Amino acid sequence: MSTARSSRLAGFGHYVPARRVENAEIETRLGLEPGWIERRTGIRARHWVEAGDTLTGLASKAGEAALQEAGISRGDVALTLLATSTPDHLLPPSAPLLAHRLGLANCGAIDLAGACSGFLYALTLADGFVRAQGRPVLVVAANILSRRINPAEKASAVLFADAAGAVVIEPCDDQDKGLIGVDLASDGSGYDLITIPAGGSRRPFAPGMAAEDVLMTMRDGREVFVRAVEMMAACADRALADAGIGAADVSRFVPHQANVRIFDAVCGNLGIEPSKIVRTIEEHGNSSAATIPLSLSLAHKAKSFAPGEKLLLTAAGAGMTGGAVLLGM
């Protein structure tokens, strides 16, 4: 076993399906007035898969882009972490197939179910692995939520999207790079706020189940909003304290893209200038765990991260799960 002093993000990648779904299509189906979705969420459009697309297909495209940018040997990657709530199958896990498709032959591979916070959980675990083993890790977050939403439920049908984002994290000797502040959290008192009731061992799939049993439902959107703002801000505060810096030192703020009102409220609570928010929700909606790595990749593509930049990432999701990570670039 080797020991790495620190880690760094060496490559970014993302993929979104070609099919762009504008709000008007959903507003017409649900009987909503024009502009209703954008006013309440900030979303103008989202991307959904076509028939035949698979979760590992989306994930492999994002992972390939991240590996290409990192420029590392496929044989050096030691672990693939796939953060997803929509695997190809309940069994087997999807990560081994993803690693196989990417040519990662000497690599462990596991799925991680952390809902919208899944990427931050996976990134934190990857950082620990890199520090302990001194070998690179591929982290991919991907979801096909268009196949999990109930098209008749207004609270969730207007929000969710399909996408994948990925990063490569590798050993580094500079302690100012990589994960310099972390806080992970959970609050099981909100366990049933966002659910897919059937499909687990508690209530297996059965013939004749109604749509509301097998598709996503959001029990109380207002309660989700309040809890998400509180958890994201609290986790971010603790991650900043862990890094020993203040909100003014944050270069870019990359929140989970759930709703513009959520991350605007979190930004206000933290005292971060709104101009520092990385926003992708307008064109990409909410793809759960994939929103943060998607946003990182799009932001990096638009304006490469500069050495010394500090990025604050924060999320909250079903469960409830939450977390924040401060990245040094």
Q: Catalytic amino acids?
A: 116, 256, 286
Residue 183, strand partner residues: 324
Residue 139, strand partner residues: 81, 167
Residue 127: partners with Cβ closer than 8 Å, 6 or more residues away: 7, 169, 178, 179, 182
- Nearest Cα neighbor of 317 from 290, 298, 283 is 290
CA gap 229, 260 in Å, rounded: 11
Enter the tokens of residue 257.
Answer: 């893209």
Q: What is the chain's Cα-based Rg?
A: 19
CA gap 31, 27 in Å, rounded: 6
Enter the tokens of residue 280.
Answer: 């992708």
Burial class (CB within 10 angstroms; exposed 0-12, middle 13-18, buried 19+) of 65: buried
